[in-house]
Structure 1
Amino acid sequence: MLLTGDGRGSSGGRRSPGGRLARTVLLVLLVANAGWALGASAAPADNADRPEPALAQLRTTPPIYRLVYTRSSADERIDTAQQRLVGLCMGRLGFTYTAPPPAAAGQPAEGPRPFGLESLDSPDTGEAPAVREEQRPDAAAYTRALYGDPKKRLVGRGKWLSASRPGAGCLAEAEQRLMGDARQRWIQLRVLLFEAEQRSRDLLDRDAEFQAANREWQRCMQRTGITASDPLRLLAALPAGSDVRTHPATRADTRCKTSTGYLRIAYTRLAVVQTEVLGADPSIVRDWRRILARQDAAARAALGDR
């Protein structure tokens, strides 16, 4: 996905959240949708060593995260059908296309960590994984067949950002089969949800309950001898090359999140704020679900109603 904007990506002082969220969201969209281009001292009690549940296990999952990051059986079916359609198209043009395996349904994609580390078992180092590019002797022709003329792009615009997808090529043909004339609106919805996600994280910083939870976390951290304003800044301030699984600051961070119930409160309040932000334009969720259902119906047909 190619994202462009006018620099008004956040309201208020601090970027939401620290720039890492934007990079993570863009990476998720890039990996999930080929062709998108656009990012030590005393510890708390022993029972605090057990991390709070990860996002997928929390009782209240923010609605934008449910829409964008949690995969359903329909998402898996749509991905499978799209990759099959792309493969058939590429085959007609004389190319062998190997589709990446779709992520399993019922599991969240590797989405944003808006509150820093959630456990020490799957640390977020903030580093984007390297993307391996297939080396082909006919790379230019292959890319042209898959993505079409780079000058032909379908653009969807949000309030301050815009995104584009290939307007021609096998990827565009497959998406056209699944979405028909709703393709441009789907692109726009991805942008609007990205903007709503950023806006919600900014607004959360003004939420009284979240502020109280952050103060409790700060006091817990101070008892370990560590002063930090919030978990994201703590993570960003680690020296380069730090192992977040063993560093005293990150160990204290995850323990304090557990002992204070930080993640539970933070995600619950974020869910409230995201609901309010989405409520300002009900057409976003309505159209998302409508187009998703349209894609699922087309996917079932393409796969023989599997």
Structure 2
Amino acid sequence: MRKAVISLLLVSAIITGCDSAKDSPTKAVPPSTGAARQLTDAEQLRVSDAQQRLIGACMRRQGFEFWETARLSLEESRTLGYVLDDVAWARKYGYGSRLQAQDAAARAANPNLAYRKRLSEQRRQAYDEALDGGLDVPVMTVEIPGGGSVRKQMGGCVAESEKKLYGDPREWFRAEKIAGNLRALYVPRVLADHRFSAAQNAWSQCMKRSGYDYKDPGASRQAAIAQSDRAAQPKVFEAERKLAVADATCAKDTDLRSIGEERESHYVAQLRDRYGEALDTYLRLQHRALDRAERIVGPRT
């Protein structure tokens, strides 16, 4: 269990987007309905890179080695979301299955995991305590929209890095988890919306004209994912690439993304009476973190 926790903390995932209709039709986090805008992919990556830099500096101050995650290019790290409408990206990467395989290999070869494994039991415990405070630090629990809760240890270099970027780690954790889990409330409404359904039906008809029979982008993506373990094979990847290009072309021709984003904003706005404060806090702290990250690391290219 501890190894899995460490892995999640130390490795930045390659973001390749959602792959089913249960995820947000357009984004991972609700769009802004107020003055502050949501950070771009490039800006979010810069914050993530800055956090890696801060964690590394903190760990080295406490006598441990630490390797930052290899920085992929901005193009390779983009978020697809439910709707892929970037034809050029699809033509080059398909649905990103090879990028996901690259990510899995990077996780398996993470030098921080290997380093921790080589430590003595006493030093390994000290390493864990330095990283996230160990098992005895306070744990914060947040009730999330749609039911259930999430918990997080609040200590060590991880908490220190979040404090330097966001201010109050507890405030950030609460806002991030509420904003990120609102999709359980608004996505069903978007998918049932007649305007979005009409655009999605138009996308499906467009795909049929291209030789593919899928009812929505989620089904198309799932068909590719089912073959993703064989994406290293040229023929399999070529089939994925052609499917992704057709998907993106039809999404672009039917304005599926823009319609989805507009409908998403509409239904998120209906949740502001209850969750508006958390959404505003999420965006405010994101921009604070970006301002601080820009002093720590440069942008990805």
Same fold (TM > 0.5): yes
Structure 2 partner of 1:165: 152
- Structure 2 contact 207–247 (Cα < 8 Å) conserved: yes
Are positions 1:146 and 2:131 aligned together?
A: yes
Higher helix residue share:
2
What is the CA–CA distance in structure 2 between the aligned matches of 1:226 and 1:220, rounded to whole Å? 9
Are positions 1:113 and 2:99 aligned together?
A: no
* Aligned AA (1:63): S
What is the CA–CA distance in structure 2 between the aligned matches of 1:124 and 1:113, rounded to whole Å? 11
In the TM superposition, what is the alpha-carbon distance from 1:230 to its structure 2 partner?
A: 1.0
* CA pair 110-145 structure 1, distance change in 2 beyond 3 A: same
* Aligned AA (2:252): T
The equivalent position to 1:228 in structure 2, one of 191, 203, 214, is 214
Q: Say which SS state the counterpart of residue 226 (structure 1) adopts.
A: coil
What is the CA–CA distance in structure 2 between the aligned matches of 1:21 and 1:201, rounded to whole Å? 6
Are positions 1:286 and 2:271 aligned together?
A: no
Structure 1 partner of 2:247: 253
What is the CA–CA distance in structure 2 between the aligned matches of 1:229 and 1:298, rounded to whole Å? 44
What is the CA–CA distance in structure 2 between the aligned matches of 1:206 and 1:229, rounded to whole Å? 14
Q: Count how many residue pairs are aligned between Structure 1 and Structure 2.
A: 251
In the TM superposition, what is the alpha-carbon distance from 1:283 to its structure 2 partner?
A: 0.3
What is the CA–CA distance in structure 1 between the aligned matches of 2:245 and 2:165, rounded to whole Å? 46
The equivalent position to 2:196 in structure 1, one of 201, 210, 217, is 210
- Structure 1 contact 62–272 (Cα < 8 Å) conserved: no
In the TM superposition, what is the alpha-carbon distance from 1:100 to its structure 2 partner?
A: 3.9
What is the CA–CA distance in structure 1 between the aligned matches of 2:38 and 2:195, rounded to whole Å? 25
- Structure 1 contact 116–232 (Cα < 8 Å) conserved: no
* CA pair 266-292 structure 1, distance change in 2 beyond 3 A: closer
* Aligned AA (2:133): G
- Structure 1 contact 16–199 (Cα < 8 Å) conserved: no
Q: Comparing both chains, which one has the higher relative contact order based on Cα–Cα distances under 8 Å and sequence gaps of 6 or more?
A: 2
Structure 2 partner of 1:197: 183
The equivalent position to 1:183 in structure 2, one of 169, 173, 179, is 169
* Displaced runs of 4 or more, over 6 A: 101-105, 296-300
Structure 2: 5+ residue runs without aligned partners? 6-17, 297-301
* CA pair 109-293 structure 1, distance change in 2 beyond 3 A: same
* CA pair 103-157 structure 1, distance change in 2 beyond 3 A: farther
* CA pair 187-278 structure 1, distance change in 2 beyond 3 A: same
Q: Deviations over 1:256-290 (max 9, x none)?
A: 22333333333333333334444642202322244
What is the CA–CA distance in structure 2 between the aligned matches of 1:289 and 1:261, rounded to whole Å? 26
What is the CA–CA distance in structure 2 between the aligned matches of 1:125 and 1:297, rounded to whole Å? 30
The equivalent position to 1:122 in structure 2, one of 93, 97, 101, is 93
Structure 1: 5+ residue runs without aligned partners? 3-14, 30-60
In the TM superposition, what is the alpha-carbon distance from 1:232 to its structure 2 partner?
A: 1.0
- Structure 2 contact 84–248 (Cα < 8 Å) conserved: no
What is the CA–CA distance in structure 1 between the aligned matches of 2:81 and 2:250, rounded to whole Å? 17
Alignment identity in percent? 20
What is the CA–CA distance in structure 2 between the aligned matches of 1:290 and 1:223, rounded to whole Å? 45
What is the CA–CA distance in structure 1 between the aligned matches of 2:238 and 2:291, rounded to whole Å? 44
Structure 1 partner of 2:38: 67
TM-score, normalised to structure 2's length?
0.63
- Structure 1 contact 189–288 (Cα < 8 Å) conserved: yes
* CA pair 104-163 structure 1, distance change in 2 beyond 3 A: farther
TM-score, normalised to structure 1's length?
0.63
Q: Say which SS state the counterpart of residue 86 (structure 1) adopts.
A: helix
